[in-house]
C-alpha cells in the first residue's frame, strides 16, 4: 500500500471542504473495510479509480453517526456501524428488513467496523475490475473481460458494456424501503435529498461512477419513511458458502409488500448480486399489481426472463433469482405486518 495523508475534520462542512480541496485524489473514509483493505490494497488505477493520496476520516464528525426515530421516520447517520443498525430495537421492530440485512453482512468483526455509508458506497465486484493486471473498460480501458472470460459472478440484468455487480446488501434494502439520501455539497447551503431509487448509476449512465455524488459531495444520513399499514417485509440472501454472512451475495432479494387479504396493493421487490445497481424487479411487481399474490406469483416471476441477459457462465443466477423471489415474497406474506 502506498502512503496517504489522513485528514480529520470535525464538521460536515470541513469534510466537504477537504474533499473539494484535494479533488480526485481524495476519498472519504469510514470503517475502511473496502477502501483500505480492498481497493487500496489491490491498487486499482485508471480514470475510474485514481489511487487516493488523501483520506478524509468521517468518523471524527459527530453529526454523522446515530439512529433517530422522529414522526414515524428513521434518520440514520452515514457513519453508524452495521452492528448498531442490526442491534437497534426500534429498527428491528419497524424496519426489520434493514436490521436483518445489516446483521447478515460479512462477519461480526466487519459489522463492528463497517458503516452504513461505507456499505452503500462499496466499489463494484468483478474480479477483472478488482485485479490491477486487467485494464478493463470500467478502469478506462477498452474491453470488458467478463464478456468472454469467467463471468459466473457478473451481472445478468442491467449490464451495458460493463457487467459489474453491486455488492451492497443495504443499498438494495433502502431502495425497497423507498428511503432517501441526504447529501452535503459545497455548492448548496442546505442538504439535498435524493431517493435511493435514483441514487445509483449503472454503466449505461456513467462508466466511471456508481452514484450521483460528485467528488466533493458527501452522504450525511439516510431517511426512511414510515411503513404503510398492511406491509410485510422479507429478506433472502444466497452465496457460495451457503450461509447468509461471510461472503457477497450471488443473489439476494428484499421485499416490502403491502397486501390486504393476500392481494397486492403496492410494494417493491429489489434484487442484489445480479446487476450493476440494486435492481428493482418492476416487471414482476407490475404483473402482481391487484392480483392474488400466491396464485399470480409463478407467472409474474417469469417476467424476469424477458429482461435478463445472462452470459455463458452465469445463467444459473437467473434460476437462483427466480427461486429466491418466490421464497422471499411468500415469506413476506407469511410474516406478521410490520409495526408502524
Summary mean pLDDT of the chain: 93
* CA-based torsion, 8, 10, 16, 18: positive or negative: negative
Q: Is 19 part of a structural domain of the chain?
A: no
pLDDT (tens digit per residue) in 86-134: 999 999 999 999 999 999 998 899 999 999 999 999 989 998 988 878 8
DSSP secondary structure string for all residues of 193-226:
EEEGGGTB--TTT-SS-SBS--TT-EEEEEEEPP
Mean pLDDT on 231-259: 86
47, pLDDT greater than 80: no
Q: Is 14 part of a structural domain of the chain?
A: no
Question: What's the pLDDT at 130?
Answer: 84
Q: Is 290 part of a structural domain of the chain?
A: yes
Question: What's the pLDDT at 196?
Answer: 98
Q: Is 131 part of a structural domain of the chain?
A: no
Mean pLDDT on 225-233: 97
Residue 137's pLDDT band, with cuts at 50, 70 and 90, is: very high
pLDDT (tens digit per residue) in 146-165: 999 999 999 999 998 999 99
Q: Is 246 part of a structural domain of the chain?
A: yes
Question: What's the pLDDT at 62?
Answer: 97
Question: What's the pLDDT at 39?
Answer: 65
Q: Is 296 part of a structural domain of the chain?
A: yes
52, pLDDT greater than 90: no
243, pLDDT greater than 70: no
Range of the domain at 319: 231-334
Question: What's the pLDDT at 40?
Answer: 65
Q: Is 235 part of a structural domain of the chain?
A: yes
C-alpha distance across the termini of the chain, in Å: 48
Total number of domains constituting the chain: 1
Contact predicate 25/53, CB 8 Å: yes
CATH code at position 238: 3.30.390.50
Q: Is 156 part of a structural domain of the chain?
A: no
Amino acid at each position: 500500500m502506498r502512503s496517504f495523508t489522513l485528514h480529520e475534520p470535525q464538521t460536515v462542512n470541513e469534510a466537504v471542504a477537504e474533499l473539494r480541496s484535494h479533488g480526485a485524489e481524495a476519498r472519504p473514509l469510514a470503517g475502511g473495510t473496502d477502501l483500505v483493505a480492498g481497493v487500496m490494497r489491490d491498487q486499482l488505477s485508471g480514470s475510474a479509480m485514481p489511487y487516493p493520496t488523501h483520506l478524509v476520516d468521517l468518523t471524527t464528525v459527530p453529526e454523522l453517526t446515530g439512529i433517530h426515530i422522529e414522526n414515524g421516520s428513521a434518520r440514520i447517520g452515514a457513519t453508524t456501524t452495521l452492528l448498531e443498525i442490526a442491534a437497534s430495537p426500534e429498527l428491528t421492530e419497524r424496519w426489520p428488513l434493514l436490521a436483518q440485512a445489516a446483521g447478515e453482512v460479512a462477519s461480526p468483526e466487519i459489522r463492528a467496523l463497517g458503516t452504513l455509508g461505507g456499505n452503500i458506497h462499496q466499489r463494484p465486484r468483478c474480479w477483472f475490475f478488482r485485479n490491477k493486471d486487467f485494464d478493463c473498460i470500467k478502469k478506462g480501458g477498452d474491453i470488458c473481460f467478463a464478456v468472454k472470460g469467467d463471468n459466473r459472478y457478473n451481472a445478468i440484468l442491467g449490464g451495458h458494456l460493463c457487467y459489474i455487480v453491486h455488492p451492497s446488501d443495504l443499498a438494495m434494502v433502502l431502495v425497497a424501503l423507498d428511503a432517501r439520501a441526504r447529501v452535503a455539497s459545497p455548492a448548496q447551503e442546505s442538504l439535498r435529498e435524493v431517493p435511493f431509487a435514483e441514487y445509483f448509476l449503472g454503466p449505461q449512465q456513467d462508466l466511471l461512477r456508481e452514484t450521483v455524488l460528485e467528488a466533493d459531495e458527501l452522504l450525511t444520513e439516510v431517511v426512511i419513511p414510515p411503513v404503510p399499514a398492511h406491509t410485510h417485509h422479507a429478506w433472502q440472501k444466497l452465496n457460495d458458502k451457503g450461509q447468509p454472512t461471510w461472503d457477497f451475495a450471488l443473489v439476494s432479494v428484499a421485499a416490502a409488500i403491502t397486501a390486504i387479504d393476500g392481494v397486492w396493493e403496492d410494494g417493491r421487490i429489489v434484487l442484489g448480486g445480479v446487476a450493476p445497481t440494486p435492481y428493482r424487479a418492476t416487471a414482476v411487481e407490475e404483473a402482481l399489481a391487484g392480483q392474488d399474490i400466491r396464485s399470480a406469483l409463478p407467472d409474474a416471476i417469469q417476467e424476469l426472463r424477458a429482461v435478463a441477459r445472462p452470459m455463458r457462465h452465469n445463467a444459473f443466477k437467473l434460476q437462483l433469482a427466480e427461486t429466491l423471489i418466490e421464497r422471499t415474497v411468500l415469506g413476506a406474506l407469511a410474516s406478521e405486518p410490520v409495526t408502524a
